[in-house]
Structure 1
Amino acid sequence: MTMTTPPGDADRVKLAPAAALFRSLGDPARLVIVRRLALGEARVMDLVEQLGLAQSTVSKHLACLRECGLVDSRPVGRASVFTLTQPSLIGLLAAAETVLAATGDAVALCPTYGAPGGVDE
């Protein structure tokens, strides 16, 4: 007996990688790192100074982005220089900004995914 997957389940399976991509970008610190790397390569120290994040935070989020295949690094002396592996992320972020501009505060006020206290927090 062969089991078939209902159409809705098949769609969820097909969209699982896209959902994982969006979850990988779902942290503001990772987004700011990706946005900065869209301008060009950077060392952890550069990101710490430019973004005002703790070194441990930057390192943790770079590791996540690397595991997702979104950034890569190469050694330069004793440091590692990070780059985006997927330049199309720049277009994805631009499209997200367009959607956010069109929806106004709706996403920020969403009870499930918005900021805990709304846009003012």
Structure 2
Amino acid sequence: MQDFARASALYGFDTLIAEYGLSHTELLRDAGLPENTLDNLQGLVSYRRFLELLKLSAARSGDPLFGLKLGLSQGVSIFGPILYLLNNARTVGEALTELKQYFHLHMGADHV
């Protein structure tokens, strides 16, 4: 089974990469992702290609912190239903347990 990432992990990618004067469609294509990937943020993308996109973006922008900046610009709303679980946990420990149990649904290759 191929590892996946939710396309929502790319929310705001086009806006941030434009700040560096780069084309998001060109980077998507060069990473092996469809140019229209950002049109359906509820879909799934190859985790390997997602990582390739972040590496290419960091290299071409000259900013090794590009991936971190993308994550910071997104906030927590990209977690969708997992955020609901975290917000409704009674304790921090319960929230972390829920995150550990369900994070694979958001990013199939990652572990908490």
Output the TM-score relative to the length of structure 2.
0.30
Higher helix share: 2
Task: Decide which structure has the larger Cα Rg and report it.
Answer: 1
Higher strand share: 1
Relative contact order higher in (CA < 8 Å, ≥ 6 apart)? 2
Output the TM-score relative to the length of structure 1.
0.28
